[in-house]
Amino acid sequence: MKNDLERDTKFTHMGRPPAGLGTPVSHSVTRASTLLFEKAEDLYRSDVRGYGRHGAAVHDALAELFTELEQGVGTLLYSSGLAALTGPVLSIVKPGDHILLTDSTYGPTRHFCLTFLARLGVETTFYDPRIGSGISDLIQDNTSLILLESPGSLTFEIQDIPAIAKAARAKGVTTLIDNTWSAGISLSPLPMGVDISIHAATKYFGGHSDIMYGAAIFADEAHFKRAQMTAKQLGNASSPDDAYQILRGFRTVLPRFRQQEATSLALAEWLMTRDEIQQVLHPAVSDHPDHALWQRDFTGGGCIFSVVLKPTSEADVLRFINNLNLFGIGYSYGGFESLAIHCDPQLRRSCAATLAGPLVRFACGLEAMVDLKNDIEQSLVSIY
C-alpha cells in the first residue's frame, strides 16, 4: 500500500485478501482451536501458528490496520480495552517497581494499579495531569512506567505528552498512553515519543455497542516482543468473530468519527451559552484551560465531553439524566447511540481541583445534532 494515500483510502483497502476469482472482499472467519500439520516435524516451527489461540488471518489484517493507524512497529490484540492496558503493563513491571499514573485516569485503570499491582508489590503514585516536564521530579530509581491519558477520563485535562515522554526517556522509563478518546485519528502519540498506545476498540472501532475488544500498538520491537511473550504466557486470545467485527468497523470509523466529533463540539459550544451550565469540559472549546496544548498536539476532537452543572441536588441531577429521551444511560462511547451518565459517584481524584458543581458526561452518537440539543434543553428546563 502506498504511503502517500489518505487514511480513508488506506483503511478501505488495507488488510484485505488478494483479489482472485470470486475472492470475498473481506477475510473469512476461521474458527479453530486445533491446527493440523501434514508433517510431524512442522509442529515445532516458530514461523507458523501452532494453535488457534495464536490467531488467524483476520487477526493479522486487523493488527496491520492498527499498526498503520498509530505508525507503530506492531500490534497485539486483546479481548477488551482494559486487557489491552493491563497486558502490556504486566510485561513491564516487576515486584518492587514504582509507576506514575495520571490522576485523571480511567477508573478501572486506577483500580487495577491500586489492587492487582499493589498485591504484586508495585507502588503507584498519582500525578497531576498538567505536570508536564515537572514529572521528572517524581521519577524514582525504581520507576519503570508512566501511564498517560489525554484528555483525562471524565474531567478532560490535556497532558503535555512530548514533555512527559522526553522526561521519561531521559531516565529510561517506559511510557504508555490510553489513546481511546482520539481513536488514534486526532492524536498520534508514538511519533511524540510515547512507547505504547492502547485502545478500547470496543468503542469507535466496534461502533455499534455490541462487541468488546482492545489493541496495543508499540513504537519499538523490544517492547512489542516482550508484551507478545507476556500475552502468550498469560493465555491471551481473542475470538476471530470479534476480530472480524472490529475489522469491519475499521472500514467506516473515519466518517463516523468525524460526524460524532462535529456533533460533540457543536453541543459543547451551545452548552457554553446556557445559564444552567457552570463549565464545559471539552478541550476543543476556546475557554478550556488546555485549549492551546490541544491545538498543538491534536488534529481534531472526539465524541465525548463533560459539563459541570450549576450547583443543584443529586436528585435533580438524576432527574436531568432520567428526563433525557435520546441519550441512553450507560457507560462507553463511540457507538451509534448517544449516552449520558452522572459522574460524581465514580469521580476519584487525589490531586485534581474540586469541581464547582455536579459532573455529567455526554457521548455523542449518530443522531442529528439539533435533536440532541433539543433533548438536553428540555431536560435542563425541567430541573432549573
CB neighbours of residue 84 within 10 Å = 30
Q: List 196's β-bridge partners, or say none.
A: 176, 218
Which strands sit side by side in the sheet containing 143-149, from one edge to the other?
A: 74-78, 214-218, 196-199, 174-178, 143-149, 98-102, 123-127
Residue-wise pLDDT for 218-248, tens only, equals 999 999 999 999 999 999 999 999 999 999 9
Q: Are residues 66 and 202 in the same domain?
A: yes
* Residue positions annotated with a catalytic role: 53, 106, 178, 203
Distance CA 276, CA 136 (A): 40
Q: List 306's β-bridge partners, or say none.
A: 281, 361
- Print burial letters for 231-260: b (CB count within 10 Å at least 16), e (below 16): beeeebbbbbebbbbbbbbbbebbebbebb
Domain tally for the chain? 2
Q: Are residues 301 and 259 in the same domain?
A: yes
Global confidence as pTM: 0.94
Residue-wise pLDDT for 128-167, tens only, equals 999 999 999 999 999 999 999 999 999 999 999 999 999 9
Q: List 101's β-bridge partners, or say none.
A: 126, 147
Q: Is residue 2 included in any domain, yes or no?
A: no
Provide the 8-state DSSP code for 120.
T
Residue ending a domain, among 224, 248, 272, is 248
> How many Cα atoms within 13 Å fall on the side-chain side of residue 117?
29
Q: Are residues 103 and 224 in the same domain?
A: yes
Q: Is residue 1 included in any domain, yes or no?
A: no
Q: Are residues 36 and 164 in the same domain?
A: yes
Alpha helices of the chain — where are they, by DSSP H?
7-13, 57-70, 81-92, 107-112, 118-119, 161-170, 221-233, 240-271, 291-297, 314-323, 369-383
Q: What is the pLDDT of residue 21?
A: 72
Q: Are residues 376 and 261 in the same domain?
A: yes
Q: Are residues 172 and 285 in the same domain?
A: no
Q: Are residues 215 and 322 in the same domain?
A: no
Q: Are residues 161 and 269 in the same domain?
A: no
| Residues written for the chain | 384
Residue ending a domain, among 248, 275, 305, is 248
Q: Are residues 243 and 293 in the same domain?
A: no
Provide the 8-state DSSP code for 51.
B
Q: Is residue 231 included in any domain, yes or no?
A: yes
Provide the 8-state DSSP code for 285.
S
Domain limits for position 170: 7-248
Alpha helices of 74-211 — where are they, by DSSP H?
81-92, 107-112, 118-119, 161-170
Residue ending a domain, among 228, 248, 268, is 248
| CATH number for position 302 | 3.90.1150.10
Q: Are residues 240 and 310 in the same domain?
A: no
Residue-wise pLDDT for 242-287, tens only, equals 999 999 999 999 999 999 999 999 999 999 999 999 999 999 999 9
| CATH number for position 134 | 3.40.640.10
Look over the chain and give the mean of its residue pLDDT values, rounded to a whole number. 94
Average the pLDDT over 40-60 and give the result. 89
Tracing cell 472549546 back to the chain, one arrives at 285
